[in-house]
Amino acid sequence: MTAHYQVHGDVAVITLDNPPVNGLGLSTRQAIAQGLDRANDDPAVRAIVLTGAGKAFSGGADIKEFGSPKAYQDPNLLSVILAVEHSAKPVIAAVHSVCMGGGLELALGAHYRIAAPGTKVALPEVKLGLIPGAGGTQRLPRVLGVEAALNMIVSGEPVASEILAAIPGQKLFDKLAASAETLLEEAIALAREVADKHAGGAPLPLVRHLPCQHPQGDAYFQFARNMVGAQAKHYPAPLKCIDAVQAATTKRFDDGMAFERETFVNLMNTPVSMALRHLFVAERAAGKIADVPEDTPVREVRQVAIIGAGTMGSGIAINFLNVGLPVTLLEAKPEALERGVAHIRSVYEGQVKKGKLKPEQVEQRLALLRTTMTYDDIRDADLVIEAVFEDMAVKRQVFEQLDAVMKPGAILATNTSTLDVNQIAAFTKRPQDVIGTHFFSPANVMKLLEVVRGDKTAKDVLATVMALGKKIKKTCVVSGVCDGFIGNRMIEQYSRQAGFLLEEGCTPEQVDRAIEKFGFAMGPFRMGDLAGNDVGWYIRKRRYVEKPHLRYSKIADRLCEMGRFGQKTGAGWYDYQPGKRDAIPSPVVNQMIEDYRKELGINPRKISDDEIVQRLVFALVNEGAHILEEKIAARASDIDMVYITGYGFPVWRGGPMHYAEQFGLFNVVQAMKRFAKNPHDDAQFWQPAPLLQRLVAEGKGFAAV
């Protein structure tokens, strides 16, 4: 059972029990409805308490039911709330810990509410591109007042019960319990009190009967729309939240409910909500590894060592210092150590200036940082992350040394971005303890952490790194070993296409503008200028030797030969004014591109924004399909998480693989076939991955993989 029924003297207690957060799935809804009937049928029961077991009252909808017909099967949430309202005996919702979404809507159907202190109360539906769909937009303004309710509904952010209870005139909570421990006892006492009060037949209070108005009426809602409009550019839900709350002030309750329902159903079918719901599930799925159960014991990590205090090493260190883990930085050169520590300090000072940290917090964190130039000082670390130069000979030297000094069981991680993690593991006599931790730059800011599982990586090492990644607030995605792992392997194909687009007639500015309009944070050329065009140049030179059959546009090489490495050299694909980052289209670069086309005998053509976007995005999708087929990524949604959290793919489009499915895999493959016929593109490039062809032939989506 996902809810229990117990009788305490004359009070029935219905306890939701559907771990982890008492999601309101079908069986829980059935159990609540049955409990209400049973209590109403039992003459010995005078009142009913509705509460939750474990870590929540209720977190709302059961994500396991997302998108399945079960979510709407009777009794649906609206029917259960109606059953609560219609109970002849008073129902008291006793909420604690988490009271969100449908959980809060359920509580709002009760006749009385009591909350434990520290309960997080929220209607987070807007984060999934929705509005609350079970009365939240109609009932919350009636108990909290329009403004407080609208803020909660539009932001989706949780507010603590004691803050809500302090709002003058609020009717959300009739009582705050002294503590979570005494909540049930106090709820039962309240139940008896109200049972006495209503014994004479006085009607039970219902939120739907409370008035709902704003003194400024329409003017207030117009103001709210202006406030929300700019942020809500790609997201329809926030403005719809305002419409629904306004309806609560202008319509009869039942009409407001109908309006909310209609708006909710319409939003459910928008691509934005589908993308956001996909990512919600994707984020939770990414942490799961089929052959590493969630209860796999993890190794204790109390001390971290980082080898190399450069760009990445110093950024990585900040993550651990932030969560109170001592870090020792090891370097080959004292000046590099000094630079690394100075970088860490300057990041913290920047946060103090922005008011995000207090000076004493900076000192606390810096007190956890040690520096050294000898391996003896790190031998007791539980985790070592290597972030030295990207050179196999240097990595070898480091890992042989680590193997010689580190205590048994220490986890040895490499931050390599392109080298073979299996080969690095083989430099040690303990390949089971070796793993890749591919952070993204700036490592203290970027959410993504690709966790690279070597052929011999032990399961508990993987489980430990995943747990630690979560602790330092990263989105961890497991990748198998391959050149570039998931993200960079795909971006290389995207960059190749960007180069072909220049050859055929685009300017860097046109390509960037088109893909930025699609929603990418930054187009490929502005990105190249930021990251340094020499990085790609270095990789291409290796490719020309390793994979001579692959075609690359040589325009980017010409750019590098001109010394235009990007912002760091004051010029790249664009020109830059000293000290500024604004990308100014460069006549010199455009001339160089034109000259190059002439050499190749290409007559430039006008290329539409649609073609630019499709060629760039489908280049990602095709490589993503190869990655999926080779099991480098466990699921398509992992690839989406990589692109959303590490590469600035537009969140409201759900990631490249989700976008491709929405576009229709059939249509994606058709487009690839069209591109392959273009004499200046690369027919081999556009050979659809076998997995894509198979899915299209079988009429299936990536979920079938």
Report, as residue numbers or ranges, the catalytic residues: 105, 125
With CB under 6 A as the contact rule, the residue among 308, 454, 499, 656 that binds ligand NAI is 308
Structure tokens at 529: 């200028």
For residue 15, what are the β-bridge partners?
A: 4, 51
With CB under 6 A as the contact rule, the residue among 247, 309, 344, 425 that binds ligand NAI is 309
Residue span binding ligand NAI (CB under 6 A) among the ranges 12-20, 41-49, 393-401, 539-547? 393-401
693 belongs to the binding site for ligand NAI (CB under 6 A): no
381 belongs to the binding site for ligand NAI (CB under 6 A): no
Q: Give the Cα separation of 482 and 37 in Å (integer).
A: 59
What minimum distance in Å lies between the beta carbon of 311 and ligand NAI? 4
With CB under 6 A as the contact rule, the residue among 333, 517, 541, 598 that binds ligand NAI is 333
What minimum distance in Å lies between the beta carbon of 419 and ligand NAI? 7
546-553 LR contacts (CB < 8 Å, sep 24+): 549/684, 550/496, 551/496, 551/682, 551/684, 551/685, 552/496, 552/499, 553/496, 553/499, 553/500, 553/502, 553/503
30 belongs to the binding site for ligand NAI (CB under 6 A): no
- Evaluate whether 57 touches 16 at the Cβ level (below 8 Å): yes
With CB under 6 A as the contact rule, the residue among 310, 326, 519, 585 that binds ligand NAI is 310
Q: Give the Cα separation of 281 and 636 in Å (integer).
A: 12
397 belongs to the binding site for ligand NAI (CB under 6 A): yes
Q: Give the Cα separation of 413 and 158 in Å (integer).
A: 37
313 belongs to the binding site for ligand NAI (CB under 6 A): yes
- x/- letters, 235..254, toward ligand NAI (CB under 6 A): --------------------
With CB under 6 A as the contact rule, the residue among 53, 159, 180, 394 that binds ligand NAI is 394
In terms of DSSP H, where are the helices of 217-323? 218-229, 237-250, 253-268, 271-286, 311-322
- Evaluate whether 105 touches 169 at the Cβ level (below 8 Å): no
With CB under 6 A as the contact rule, the residue among 223, 389, 538, 666 that binds ligand NAI is 389
Structure tokens at 214: 């704003």
* Complete DSSP assignment for 513-528: HHHHHHT-SS-HHHHH
With CB under 6 A as the contact rule, the residue among 243, 390, 403, 629 that binds ligand NAI is 390
Torsion of CA 297, 303, 307, 308, to 10 degrees: 120
Q: Which is nearer to ligand NAI, 308 or 454 (CB)?
A: 308
What minimum distance in Å lies between the beta carbon of 453 and ligand NAI? 17
Q: Tell me the three state secondary structure of residue 684.
A: coil
Burial 69-91 (b: 16+ CB within 10 A, else e): eebeeebbbbebbbbbbebebbb
Q: Give the Cα separation of 674 and 684 in Å (integer).
A: 12
415 belongs to the binding site for ligand NAI (CB under 6 A): yes
332 belongs to the binding site for ligand NAI (CB under 6 A): yes
Q: Give the residue nearest to ligand NAI (CB).
A: 310
For residue 50, what are the β-bridge partners?
A: 14, 93
388 belongs to the binding site for ligand NAI (CB under 6 A): yes
With CB under 6 A as the contact rule, the residue among 312, 625, 633, 668 that binds ligand NAI is 312
Residue span binding ligand NAI (CB under 6 A) among the ranges 66-74, 87-95, 329-337, 613-621? 329-337
What minimum distance in Å lies between the beta carbon of 438 and ligand NAI? 6
- Evaluate whether 190 touches 92 at the Cβ level (below 8 Å): yes
Residue span binding ligand NAI (CB under 6 A) among the ranges 212-220, 289-297, 436-444, 597-605? 436-444
542 belongs to the binding site for ligand NAI (CB under 6 A): no
**For the chain, how long is the longest CA-to-CA vector?**
96
Q: Which residues in this chain contact ligand NAI in the complex, by CB under 6 A?
A: 307-313, 330-333, 336, 387-390, 394, 397-398, 415-417, 438-441
